[in-house]
Amino acid sequence: MTTQEATPYWDDVEVGQELPSFERVTDLMNWNRWAATYDEFVPYHMDDEGAKENGQPAVIGQGRIRVSYLHTLVRKWIGEEGAILTLSAQLRGINFKNDVLTCTGRVTGKRVDDEGRHVVDLEMLMTNQKGERVTPGAATVELPSKS
């Protein structure tokens, strides 16, 4: 996995700071890889006719792969030395083949927690090419400190 050059230090992170965005064009190639990993070969994810039988106009993407895209957004930002403590997402929309999904995030808080860890709270959002909010999320990460 490609990460940024260096893990950000907790001391240098500011509330309101934006994370570098992450974008993915969804297609059957990505979905097939995902399905092979999780044994999720469901007709409405793989076949337009199967999707139509389930009331969709065309094949739809797996929800859990969108959660993995938000995970990628965070992992790319925190680098090798950071740790993802929590990550959650809400699947609020459907994504179709060839949608362009853009993940963004920003820092909403930073603190030293009860265990002495230097943590940063993030809010994240995935939108499609129409600007529709398809997957909001949140995460808490641990970053190294200079002190």
Each residue's pLDDT tens digit, 6-15: 889 999 999 9
pLDDT at residue 119 greater than cutoff 60: yes
pLDDT at residue 3 greater than cutoff 70: no
pTM (2 decimals)? 0.87
Which of 137, 16, 13, 27 is CA-nearest to residue 86? 137
**pLDDT of 69-107, one tens digit each?**
999 999 999 999 999 999 999 999 888 889 999 999 999
pLDDT on residue 81: 94
More confident call, 2 vs 98: 98
Q: What is the CA radius of gyration of the chain?
A: 17
pLDDT on residue 110: 98
Which of 108, 106, 102, 74 is CA-nearest to residue 88? 74
C-alpha–C-alpha distance, residues 22 and 91, integer Å: 18
C-alpha–C-alpha distance, residues 89 and 38, integer Å: 19
Which of 9, 6, 18 is CA-nearest to residue 107? 18
**In this structure, what are the phi and psi dihedrals at residue 69, rounded to the nearest 5 degrees?**
-65, -40
More confident call, 110 vs 7: 110
**How confident is residue 5, by pLDDT bands cut at 50, 70 and 90?**
low
Helices (H), 39-127: 43-46, 48-53, 63-78
**pLDDT of 29-69, one tens digit each?**
777 777 767 777 777 667 778 888 888 888 878 888 899 99
**In this structure, what are the phi and psi dihedrals at residue 11, rounded to the nearest 5 degrees?**
-60, -30
Other beta carbons within 10 Å of 10: 21
pLDDT on residue 60: 78
